[in-house]
A and B are shown apart, each in its own frame.
Chain A
Amino acid sequence: MSKMAYISLTDETFRIEEIPSEQRKLFLGGRGINTHLLYQMVGEETDPMGPENVLVVGAGMLTGVAGIANSRISFSAKSPETGLLGDSAMGGFFGAELRYAGFDHLVIQGKAKKPLYLWIHDGKIEFYDASSFSTLDTLQIQTKIREDLKDPKIQVACIGPAGRNLVRFACIIHGLSHAAGRTGMGAVMGSKNLWAIAARGKSAIAVHDPRKLLEVVQKHYQQVTRTKGFLASSIYGTMIRLNNTRTQGYEGGLNHRYNMMEYGGEELDAEVFIERYETGKATCFGCPTACKHMFRVPRGIYQGMECEGPEYYGCGGWGSQCGCSNWETILEAWNLCAKYGLDVGSMTSYTAWLMELYEKGFTTKKETEGLSLEWGNSEAIIGLIRQVVENRGVGKLLAQGWIEAAKAIGKESARYMNHVKGLSIECDDVRGHRAQTLGLATASRGACHLRSRYTLEEFSLPEEATRRLTGRPVRQDPATYEGKEWACYWTECICSIADALGVCKFMTKWLSVGLLGFEEFIELIEAVTGMKLSIEEMLEIGERIYTTERLFLTREGITRKDDTVPEKFFKPWTHGPKAGTKIENEPFEKLLDRYYELHGWDRNGIPKSESVKKLGLEK
């Protein structure tokens, strides 16, 4: 049976409960059950950095069994960065190992009296002193735990100096760079004096029909490994997007001032990275893709530096958004964020924001302790990361999150931060894609491409293909608003389900038509649990997860006025094939109306009582 542990850090006790089968049917697992529990256990009065905040850790329903890219585990809490819904998932091997150790979900409450880590093994949970980690980075902590416990196969999720110093956008790291990155879940761990969770187990995960599961997985393996999406990911990983966004003109440049940079392409190209720095590939549990790059810097001031990564959002974030086309700066910045446990999505966009503020005279070298925050300045990019973690200079302000930093810098400075619901927008510029803009404006954890970005809008698919794929035809002209509410809704559902199952979205139809979708998920769920679901039921589960998240946001005061994108996005694109494209107010508002109606939310974006009841979400 699936188990959940309720852990009190305050008195170092825990109790174990079985996950009710009804909860499984309604929310599956992972992000689904996390969201359900979080909505019940925290409220609008909860201080995200207080002991009353709850950190829910949840492996997906399929995580750790035979499958494809089913490695993922979600961390959810009230976010210290946005004050709203916090939720972030990571791949790697930690999720699978936690399940082998006997637990699908951990509900972590209270605050430890002194720094500690959880040692979870074979159905047991122990509380160990972590004081000796106080000078270690994330990689050193993982090594130390394995050495102390004399088991090299222990998997660890931990925070680094950023989380320990309560930086509001600290993340949780596992391995070299698997990160539960966005919304500051590392800060929540830091605030609880919980510095790491270590897991090791030998229990088997119960599978309803193992023979059937192997048949299904074999079929899916044949299916996905033939697709272009798989082949491209296995060479370039997410970095392929670096080239794609630039050629098509949705590369955010200089804090989203431009949608394509006019320089730097010869250097900042995925092919250049692979040729010059890549030393191999790494993967996550169950994934045939191996999309992660291992790299080594062969020369220069960072000679010998090795790490895993970087993902597209680091490359584009420090690249075009900060105007830097020096690979080695980007690789060092990535490496530092992994070692310190800092969210790359926020760190890159905060840097671009500060660079714009510096250009406009909001900040000077006095506040930055001598750092010249000019566009593209490598020293500034690296120096700012150190200042944040060491709590000094302008980094001391940033460590409190951009909202507090803007208050200190000056009222107008907030206008230059590109965010939705307090979470900064990463380097994609979506304004030419209507479904993607809607997804960004309404994403339940704030600006996020992994919640509801209809990626397929970029592929010019025939309408017949989109009908087969999503159940309804979606016009592929990115500039049309018609039917894009459905594209966004469908994407929300497939993303919610993938997170609830623990399947990586890069192996789903979210990214490429031939990858895994609802039909494949249904086969896997039946083989693993015996549960028989239809596509309609899958969509309903996705809707249930998303509406629960919306209820969380509604309770925090979020309404229609927050479902929008920054002012800059209502101005035309300056570059590229679609220059002149912009979001138009009236059609966007009508699109939002249709989107709310599809969800059963009222005109203000608040779930209607009948919709809540229909989904079984009334208290």
Chain B
Amino acid sequence: MENREIQIRCKACSGRFGVPPLQTFAWCPACHQEWKIKWLDSESGMIIAPVSWKDYQVKSRRILPNE
């Protein structure tokens, strides 16, 4: 069986990483964010959402120096 991966761009760190076709969850190896993957066809996968919006939204808050 063919052992290939489709490249997907992480929406958190913008790095690219490989995902086996039709796999519906994936971790970004660089930033460790876990994503839900939507397959438009067997060659075109895209990140549709984080596995947990709640965690993603809460942890995305950065405390900036002027706050």
Which residues 563-581 in A have Cβ within 8 Å of B in the complex? 572, 574-577, 579-580
Nearest CB in chain A: distance from B18 CB, A? 16
Say whether A247 faces chain B, with CB atoms less than 8 Å apart: yes
Tell me whether B60 and A228 are in contact (CB under 8 A): no
Say whether A269 faces chain B, with CB atoms less than 8 Å apart: yes
Say whether B41 faces chain A, with CB atoms less than 8 Å apart: yes
Given contacts A262-B57, A460-B9, contact A247 B64 (CB under 8 A): no
What interface size band does chain A fall in? 20 to 34
B53 touches which of A228, A269, A576 (Cβ 8 Å): A269
Nearest CB in chain B: distance from A243 CB, A? 5
**Interface 0/1 of A23-45, CB less than 8 Å to B:** 00000000000000000000000
Nearest CB in chain B: distance from A87 CB, A? 33
Chain A residue, CB-CB nearest to B62: A579
Say whether B4 faces chain A, with CB atoms less than 8 Å apart: no
Tell me whether B57 and A263 are in contact (CB under 8 A): yes
Chain B contacts for A248, CB-based, 8 A: 11-12
Say whether A157 faces chain B, with CB atoms less than 8 Å apart: no
Tell me whether A574 and B64 are in contact (CB under 8 A): yes
Chain A contacts for B54, CB-based, 8 A: 263, 265-266
Chain A, interface SS category: loop
The distance in angstroms between the C-alpha atoms of A419 and B12, with both chains bound, is 28
Chain A contacts for B62, CB-based, 8 A: 574-576, 579-580
Chain A residue, CB-CB nearest to B41: A231
Chain B, interface SS category: mixed
Chain A residue, CB-CB nearest to B9: A460
Chain A residue, CB-CB nearest to B54: A266
**Interface 0/1 of B22-60, CB less than 8 Å to A:** 000000000000000010110010111110111011101
The distance in angstroms between the C-alpha atoms of A235 and B46, with both chains bound, is 12
Which residues 236-256 in A have Cβ within 8 Å of B in the complex? 243-244, 246-249
Tell me whether B11 and A244 are in contact (CB under 8 A): yes
Say whether A260 faces chain B, with CB atoms less than 8 Å apart: yes
Say whether A171 faces chain B, with CB atoms less than 8 Å apart: no
Tell me whether B56 and A247 are in contact (CB under 8 A): yes
The distance in angstroms between the C-alpha atoms of A439 and B38, with both chains bound, is 31
Say whether A535 faces chain B, with CB atoms less than 8 Å apart: no
Q: Which 10 A-B pairs have the closest CB atoms?
A: A265-B53, A579-B62, A231-B40, A247-B11, A575-B60, A228-B44, A576-B60, A266-B53, A577-B12, A262-B57
Give B contacts to A, CB under 8 Å: 9, 11-14, 38, 40-41, 44, 46-50, 52-54, 56-58, 60-62, 64, 66-67
A-B contact pairs, 15 of them (CB 8 A): A232-B46, A243-B49, A244-B11, A247-B49, A248-B11, A260-B57, A262-B60, A265-B54, A265-B57, A266-B54, A460-B14, A576-B62, A577-B14, A579-B62, A580-B62
Give A contacts to B, CB under 8 Å: 228, 231-232, 235, 243-244, 246-249, 260-266, 269-271, 459-460, 572, 574-577, 579-580
